[in-house]
Amino acid sequence: MKKSVIVLLGISVVCIAFAAIFVKLSGAPASIISMYRMFFASLLLLPVVYKYRQEFLKLTVREWGALIFAGLFLAMHFGFWFESLHLTSVASSTVILALQPIIAMVGAYLVYKEKVSLRAAVSVFISFLGVVLISWGDFSFTDLSAITGNFLSFLGAVAVVCYFMIGQNAVRNLKHWVYSFIVFAIAGVFLLIYNIITGTALTAYPPVEWLLFILLAIFPTIAHVIFNYLLYDVSPTTVSMAMLLEPVGASILAFFILSETLGPLQLTGGMIVLIGVYIFLWSERREEYAKT
């Protein structure tokens, strides 16, 4: 692998690892953080999207329907995940979120009846065991907030898998920039409607909160731009494996910035989850090579 690719992967992992830290530092409601993350990210993409504005005219009614549902699931993803970060540790939340590829495999099996290899089945079992250990380490008879946070992180992972599945199967001819802009904006609108219905304050936040909203849009967006650029040089599986470093990076940042520590069960469970997901991605990569 080229040295420049390794450097870019490292930068992207650090950028995306900061997302959980910014959410944790914010005192705003999760739905507000999610809403402004979507709207500000849309604004960042606007100059690029303007270049491809003709793409909007190609969309059919069916594709717009798919985009609306994709935006809804993306809104749910950020709402669930950001709320989980207010309830549980950065390590637990980000590790459980890393189950996305395995959840996607289960979804493909249930919806499209895709075959599951023995290695994939083993990876599911290993990852499930890791999640059980994390939850057991977070369990308390007097405070169930951490367990609730872990469950919300899992729901966030399920929601983002639904978002990806809709995007991959319903809108194939749309450029990535335009697709991202549309679903970000739609997700922001759904979150805005939710905040209005629940009576959540939209603007009464101090300057530091607005700075966190903007940083939360900038850093992950930079990471995703780098990931998309790297797909010209490396396989999607390689990028997915690099993203497994996000929980590690986020946990290290949380230790130094938020003084979060991990108990032995959370630490062991987190390592087991990442091993399980790595086995799954490794087996997927072997199957890709076998087909070529």
Question: pLDDT means per 10 residues in the chain (292 residues)?
Answer: 77 88 94 95 91 86 90 94 91 84 79 74 80 72 79 92 77 78 94 96 94 93 77 63 77 88 82 82 65 58
Asked if 105 and 124 touch (Cβ cutoff 8 Å), the reply is: yes
pLDDT of residue 232: 64
Say which DSSP state 58 is in: G
Alpha helices in 26-117 (DSSP H): 30-51, 61-87, 90-97, 100-112
The reported pTM is 0.85
Q: Radius of gyration (Cα) for the chain, nearest Å?
A: 19
Crossing angle of helices 30-51 and 207-230, in 10° steps, is: 50
In this structure, which long-range contacts are made by residues 2-9, counting pairs with CB atoms below 8 Å and at least 24 apart in sequence? 2/233, 5/230, 5/233, 5/234, 8/226, 8/229, 8/230, 9/226, 9/230, 9/239, 9/242
In the structure encoding, which two tokens stand for residue 198, read together? 């629940």
Alpha helices in the chain (DSSP H): 3-25, 30-51, 61-87, 90-97, 100-112, 118-138, 145-170, 176-197, 207-230, 236-243, 245-257, 264-291
Domain ranges of the chain: 3-291
pLDDT of residue 291: 59
pLDDT of residue 39: 95
